[in-house]
Amino acid sequence: MNLISDRLIQSQVPLASQTSYRVGGKAQWYAAPRNWEQLEACFDWYQAQDIPLTLLGAGSNMLISDSGISGLVISTRYFRSYEFEEETGLLMADAGEPIAKLAWKAAKRGLKGLEWAVGIPGTVGGAVVMNAGAHQQCLGDILVSATTLSPDGKIEELNPQELNYSYRTSNLQGTNKLVIRAVMQLQPGFTKADMMQLSSANWTQRKTTQPYHLPSCGSVFRNPQPRAAGWLIEQLGLKGYKIGDAEIAHRHANFILNCGAATASDIFHLIRYVQEKVEYHWSVALEPEVKLVGEF
Ligand SMILES: Cc1cc2nc3c(=O)[nH]c(=O)nc-3n(C[C@H](O)[C@H](O)[C@H](O)COP(=O)(O)OP(=O)(O)OC[C@H]3O[C@@H](n4cnc5c(N)ncnc54)[C@H](O)[C@@H]3O)c2cc1C
């Protein structure tokens, strides 16, 4: 199989539309395999080159440089299937499934445990890697195991202890292990009405406190516990501050919005500006939660 002439691996593929910020350049090489065999073929090809590898979910926690990403980008967008075992509450889902969609499906089945995820625009794979969470709950609370495939073909089934979960962190970050699938334990025995009400309340709370009307990556900075990054930024009067077309949101100061024509560079410079101001006034070093990918 020639992966390039078969177009399984393509060159110079624009990535902006595959990120929630809608910014960023092209992937030098890009693949979106549709099955295990194609994924293994992409990994074999990658191993024969001496290039970097980037794994891409829904791109909702990534700021991709305007100059793009060198090496191979593998997207999990076609890894889509899921199964609920309603009696036991087990949920098995492939990496590319949107976590918010599964949260609503779980609520409709009267299953509890994923209702915090209704407003999170990422995939199952991204949520496993980021230990995504909201409303004082996170993926690590419900994960039974995640199956990963490494470029050398090694398959692992990892439990939350092995993933070393903490706040928005797992030890998969910065590795080349691709999350293929996850098993989550939800709690059966709740009513559809109760779970839909809880999920809708979470969704309403998010829409009223966070700006969903313009492209963003959600919270830009990790909260420097016990304080909230948004509060530190807001106290400095930075809401509405703009660089280019990137703006610190009025509704939530830990969000940077692409107001239409922002570049990754605008957003990056705004991130650095906020870090400098917060460091100067609060002596707190804000650490980005968003992954900066490529050259800045
Ligand atoms: C409006 C908005 C609101 C948000 N609210 C929240 C929130 O409340 N809580 C929260 O935790 N996050 C939130 N986020 C951030 C984001 O949705 C989460 O971090 C999400 O889990 C990222 O998933 P993704 O599929 O988009 O991952 P990506 O952004 O594509 O990738 C994130 C990281 O995971 C890696 N990765 C992705 N998929 C895989 C895979 N299959 N295998 C291995 N590595 C992989 C990437 O290489 C990257 O390092 C929000 C984002 C937006 C835009």
Could you tell me if 38 and 135 lie in one domain? no
Closest Cα to atom 36, ligand 1: which residue? 126
38 and 103 both lie in a single domain? no
pLDDT tens digits, one per residue of 68-104 = 999 999 999 999 999 999 999 999 999 999 999 999 9
**CB of 288 shorter than 6 A to ligand 1:** no
Ligand 1: does its nearest atom lie under 6 Å from the Cβ of 256? no
The domain of 32 spans 9-75
74 Cα: distance to centroid of ligand 1 (angstroms): 15
Q: Is the pTM of this model over 0.95?
A: yes
Q: What is the pLDDT of residues 127-153, one digit of tens each?
A: 999 999 999 999 999 999 999 999 999
Active site residues: 168, 219, 289
Ligand 1 atom closest to the CA of 95, numbered from 1: 41
CATH number, residue 248: 3.90.78.10
Where a domain ends, among 175, 209, 243?
209
Summarize the confidence of residues 52-61 as an average pLDDT: 98
Under the banding of pLDDT at 50, 70 and 90, the label for residue 172 is: very high
pLDDT digits 0-9 by tens, 217-271: 999 999 998 999 999 999 999 999 999 999 999 999 999 999 999 999 999 999 9
Separation in Å, CA 192 to CA 15, 195, 248, 266: 38, 5, 38, 44
Q: Among the three residues 159, 175, 209, which one is the final residue of a domain in this structure?
A: 209
- Does a structural domain hold residue 2? no
* pLDDT at 6 > cutoff 90: no
Distance 293 CA to ligand 1 centre (A): 13
Statement to judge: residues 239 and 150 lie in one domain = no
